[in-house]
Amino acid sequence: MSQPHILLKKIVPELIEVYEKRYTILRSIYNFQPIGRRTLASRLGLGERVVRNETEFLKNAGFLDIGPSGMRVTPEGELLLEGLKDFTHELKGLNELEDRLQEIFDLERAIVVPGDVDEDPLVLKDIGKAAARFLESIITRGNIIAVTGGSTVGAVANALSPINDNTDIVVLPARGGMGRNVEHQSNVIASIFAKKLGGQYRLLHIPDQLRAESMETLLNEPDIKSVIDNLKNADILIYGIGRAQDMMQRRNFTPQQQRDLERRGAVAEAFGYFFNAKGEIVYACNSIWLKMDNLKRIPKVIAVAGGRQKAQAIMAVFKHWRKGILVTDEGAAREIIRLAELDVN
């Protein structure tokens, strides 16, 4: 028996089109509120007349407030968005995508959100929210959580619901500082996680990439040694996946280093390791703690990454290390499945 959403698509495809348009508009307003119609139209690539007509409908239905500062979603609108989440998931066939990803990589769990972050930046927030809800469902009092840096891991931190109780949770940066974007540094993200989860955090005041002799010296520093010792007992790791070329630039690799890694076929980077398309490690940074042996001892490992352009990078990491949970978007998921089918053929 066909599922209801498939039957709807067959008999009233125009109804599905209207539904997806209104759902996307309402979700976008919720993520960027307050926002004006012209700005919303520009973000979504829709005509201003279309946006005006649809937002008027949503306002009259009681799901939007429109004021001088822009449009906001009402409490009724928020309840509607939450209630439609599972239906939208089914409508877009995301359950099937999740099952396929779990099969391809032998994952513990795959979570796919609608859209493609490469085409719609607000999808990053949705990835963050999905990962945050999953994290909240598994954390227990006294957990030690390690987090890497990056915009997607930062989105997870921002999406967490505040906990007022003392949870005894400790959040640690899983790597040192990297690049110039302070808000995406693991230290900053660890502090946000801890504050939201009602826990404590520790900081690593060191760069992520060090010469071997410098690392040996720093590992004997009491404050750094304390953080490393705690990291070895981490229960949960949350990490991002980057494209090799992007991460080489963030790490300020020299042109010669970049050419060398390109010759080795590097397509992905995660926790200081660069991987080729087969999932083989082609370069390892002198990261302070993130060694593969340590990573493999962590019970719950959650990868967060989205966008069609990151599909190959995600595949490379999971070809090497078939473990854990992947939270991604529809764009990356569909491209991963396409590439996997090409590998088979």
How many Cβ atoms are within 10 Å of 196's Cβ, its own excluded? 19
Task: Match 């099952």 to its residue by tokens.
Answer: 99
What is the model's pLDDT at position 294? 74
Which two tokens mark 118? 């490469």
Which two tokens mark 79? 């309840």
Which two tokens mark 133? 């809800």
Give dist(CA 113, CA 235) in Å, integer. 25
pLDDT (average), residues 200-225: 64
**Prior bond of 68 cis (ω within 30°):** no
> Among 9-18, 23-32, 62-71, 248-257, which range has the highest average pLDDT?
62-71
What is the model's pLDDT at position 121? 83
Cα dihedral across residues 125, 130, 131, 137: positive or negative:
positive
Residue 166, Cβ density class (10 Å: 0-12 exposed, 13-18 middle, ≥19 buried)? exposed
Q: Give kind and range of the element (H or E) at residue 71.
A: strand 70-73
Domains and CATH numbers, the chain: 4-89 (1.10.10.10), 92-344 (3.40.50.1360)
Confidence band of 85 (pLDDT split at 50, 70, 90): confident
Give dist(CA 135, CA 202) in Å, integer. 20
pLDDT in tens, 118-131: 988 888 989 999 99
pLDDT (average), residues 145-174: 90
Give dist(CA 44, CA 23) in Å, integer. 12
Residue 179 has pLDDT above 90, yes or no: no
Report yes or no: 320 and 296 within 8 Å, Cβ to Cβ.
Answer: no
